[in-house]
Structure 1
Amino acid sequence: MKSFYLSRPSRSLLKEGLTHMHFRRVIVVDIASLGLGAMPDAKRYHSEKANTLGHLDEQYLLNVPTLQRLGLGNIRRHHQFLTIPPAKTPLGFYGKLKVRTHSGTKDASLREMFDFNEPLRTLSVFNHLSRCHYRTIIISRFISYLADQDCCLQIQSANDNTGFRKLINNLKQMDTGLIYLQVPELQWVATQKDPQGYAARLSIVDKQIELLMSTLTSTDLLIITSSFANDPSYPERQITREYLPLIMYTPEVSKGHYVGTRKSVGDIAATLIDNFKEPGTEIPLSNSLLRSM
């Protein structure tokens, strides 16, 4: 396991744009199934009217104060949500991710999010970091792509409470590395096409994220996103072609900003490789989200 401290540039350097932040620990919380509205090519995927968060916002009084403070309500800049007002001073860096893969499966979007290309092969960030001796943990109800990450510590979690508890417990024992949690219950409610249950479950996830944030230090980066969308108000498909949310938070920064609509969910992989980059690793990192913070 790596025991050194990753470099921490001063705030003055950050303001001058001379460098960008790096973090000892990165936590990725995948609120799988949460989407932000149909992408331009959604008609090809029979999802032109899909809008997971937008439909919930129209039907229910959403109770997500933690995500609201982080900037969830700021992402939709031209047509604000009814029940998630934009934060005046958002704590997080926020934006949207595009899905580029043409396969509408959970595995395909996870591959786009976490795989990267070297000159002679394609690797997953999980196994790459693990082989570089960073502690790497996956907590999820496993699907095939996640189960294939055999170099990592894999922890099965059938419900949200267990998943967040195991995340926090492992975080306390981790000096540096990556923890990925895929929230299981929200996506299950989405497959049942139960929008009211989905809204209630999203509120519970919001409270769990608040608890997680209280345990973080200034050398931690929390990335909240979704690996696929599934609008529970949209009965036609199990997976809907939507923009995906992106929120990044670190206690090191008291005010975030908009980071735009990213061209690919693969920017997550670029960010992780950029943060934990090994000397001599030849990987293009221009899409790293660290350079937008």
Structure 2
Amino acid sequence: MAFHRIFVLDLAGVGMGEAPDANRFQSVGADTIGHVAQQWPGDLSLPTLQRLGFGNIRITNPIPGIPPVEQPTGYFGRLHMAAQDNRRATGLREMWDYTGPIRTESVFTTLTAAGYSVTLAGPFLSYLATQTPAERFQVGTNQAAFQILYDRLNAPVSGLTYVVLPEFRFAGEQQDLEASAQALQMTDQHLAQVIHDLGANDLLILTATHAADQTFGPTPTREYLPLLVYSPSRQAGHALGIRRTLADVGATVLENYGVAPATTGHSLLNELTQ
């Protein structure tokens, strides 16, 4: 086991620019993070995310006000959804479901069956509610979501914590660019404390299960999704490239705990060098 605890933070709704198949989903020109940053008066200040490598995700088309850094502390890349539809729940399932020997399995239920702790927190638990016997929390604000994360950071139990930050989705549905910018700044401030509280054997993964460029309307847009990975035990990060499926996150968790073969996706573990 490389890491005793894995924390996955889902910025659901934050996209990094149109994906190659954007034309199939009426998303040509979609750029959630770019449009949010452009509308913010002055520079959108996200120092913690920037140090992790958030700006390095887009070197050829820099995020306004968030340039790349020379030595990011995290590993950075982009996820491309493999599924042929673009609903909000699709990315969630792609990230956490895999093909087992008999039927489709969930990473969450596989971990709990193996005796690991699994905590899920999010705004809408229709899918997550079926992931028994994981501990589940319904949250309606980013503050409440981070409180769950802080509680788990203070609990020395090996396993997975998956937290969805709900205000990004709400901002997308309401087509509120300012609310998205404010949610990003709040997230950045909390991340500084999260990183401080991480132990040497912890892994933090920041990503998103869908994108929603508010300038395109209230429905999801087909974009690349962010990927940032950090552990205090890794001194410096590097590029993870473009991942061809969100299932790479689930595969990383499965390989880390050694509970099932990663039949879908490719684990990141061997790319997280010491």
**Superposed pair shares fold, TM > 0.5:** yes
SS of residue matched to 2:118: strand
**Aligned position for 2:31:** 51
1:240: how far off?
A: 0.4
1:231: how far off?
A: 0.8
**Alignment gaps of 5+ in structure 2:** none
Identical positions, percent? 36
Choose the corresponding residue for 1:38, options 2, 9, 18: 18
**Aligned position for 1:76:** 58
Is the 1:118–1:283 Cα contact (8 Å) retained in structure 2?
Answer: no
Q: Using the TM superposition, name which of 66-75 and 49-58 deviates more.
A: 49-58
Equivalents in 2 of 1:147, 1:286: separation in Å?
24
Equivalents in 2 of 1:286, 1:182: separation in Å?
21
Is the 2:5–2:203 Cα contact (8 Å) retained in structure 1?
Answer: yes
- The 5 Å alignment of 1:37-116 reads 37-60=17-40, 61-116=43-98
SS of residue matched to 1:268: helix
Root-mean-square deviation (CA, aligned residues, Å) is 1.4
Equivalents in 2 of 1:40, 1:83: separation in Å?
25
**Aligned position for 1:287:** 266
Choose the corresponding residue for 2:169, options 176, 187, 194: 187
Equivalents in 2 of 1:125, 1:247: separation in Å?
20
Which structure has the larger Rg? Answer: 1
- The 5 Å alignment of 1:171-182 reads 171-182=153-164
Is the 2:73–2:236 Cα contact (8 Å) retained in structure 1?
Answer: yes
Write out the 4+ residue segments of structure 1 that deviate beyond 4 Å after TM superposition. Answer: none
**Aligned position for 1:243:** 224
SS of residue matched to 1:48: coil
Q: Residues 199 and 155 (structure 1 numbering): CA distance in 2 closer, same or farther, change over 3 Å? A: same
Is the 1:57–1:82 Cα contact (8 Å) retained in structure 2?
Answer: yes
SS of residue matched to 2:163: strand
Output one character per residue of 1:141-192: Cα deviation in whole Å (capped at 9) or x when no partner. 1232111112200011111111111211122123210000000112101111
Is the 2:91–2:209 Cα contact (8 Å) retained in structure 1?
Answer: yes
1:59: how far off?
A: 2.5
Is the 2:55–2:68 Cα contact (8 Å) retained in structure 1?
Answer: yes
TM-score normalised to the size of structure 1?
A: 0.89
| Residue 162 of structure 1 pairs with residue 144 of structure 2 | yes
Equivalents in 1 of 2:141, 2:135: separation in Å?
18
1:79: how far off?
A: 2.0
Output one character per residue of 1:63-102: Cα deviation in whole Å (capped at 9) or x when no partner. 2111100000001121222200111210100000000112
**Alignment gaps of 5+ in structure 1:** 1-5, 7-21
Is the 1:23–1:220 Cα contact (8 Å) retained in structure 2?
Answer: yes
Report the residue type matching 2:267 in the other structure: S
Equivalents in 1 of 2:33, 2:155: separation in Å?
35
**Aligned position for 1:234:** 216
TM-score normalised to the size of structure 2?
A: 0.95
Choose the corresponding residue for 1:211, options 165, 173, 193: 193
